[in-house]
Amino acid sequence: MLIIPAIDIMQGKVVRLVQGKTGKTVYSSDPVMTAKHWQRQGAKLLHLVDLDGAIKGKMQNFRYVQEIARAVSIPVEFGGGIRTQADIKRLLDAGIYRVVLGTRAIEAKFLEKVLKKYKDRVIVSVDARQDSVLIKGWKKGAARVSVDKLLKSLKKSGLKEIIFTDVNMDGTLKGPNIKKLKQLLKTHRIRIIASGGVSCLQDLMRLKMLEKDGLSGVIIGKALYEAKFTLPEAAKYS
């Protein structure tokens, strides 16, 4: 189980939102230094999000993406505001390990095209509240698209792994939605990176128990920034 620190960027600062709402807590004014810090702490992969881009539908913090990709030697995945194949190429050319699609991933034809071209350099984040898939920076529901329906479509497209974010849990420190993760793993037989709600090492222990069912990683934000535990402590559950 890969332990993945999150770096969420808004207006050039490292922030955390609660359930995707606009009120934010700023943790650093230097995203590049934050990335270097997590590398020093032993991170094997970084999860970078352009929150402005996710909301506006176009990348807004690309300069930080470039700088981080140059500054660290570990892989970096990036999401937020990616809407075209040109966006994907630009990011991969900048040194990003893989791009994270959300809003455009519900369009089967677009997804099939990019998967055919970029293969495992693309991963999809399924962001949901209850059973409704959210798009456009979590501000809008995807009409008539349930989590199960989308996962069936993604698997059919050839994806072997996804990110699943429970928006109700994100930034709350209330624990991950273990019940939902179990159901998705059992029903769809697809590898899942869990995101949202991790608050303590016990949460990581519970997630680790799902590894045998296909849980491949966990993205952690607020718990690390608020020192609920350290990255080396979390790595014991990897």
Where in the sequence numbering do the catalytic residues fall? 8, 127
- The rounded distance, in Å, linking the Cα atoms of 114 and 85 is 7
Q: Which of 149, 112, 107, 117 is nearest to 132 (CA)?
A: 149
- The rounded distance, in Å, linking the Cα atoms of 184 and 165 is 12
Count of other CB atoms within 10 angstroms of residue 233: 13
Largest CA distance in the chain: 44
Q: Helix, strand or coil for residue 31?
A: helix
- The rounded distance, in Å, linking the Cα atoms of 236 and 216 is 15
Q: Helix, strand or coil for residue 238?
A: coil
Per-residue exposure over 50-76, b if at least 16 CB sit within 10 Å of its own CB, e if not: bbbbbbebbbbbbebbbebbebbeeeb
**What are the phi and psi torsion angles at 4 (to 5°)?**
-120, 110
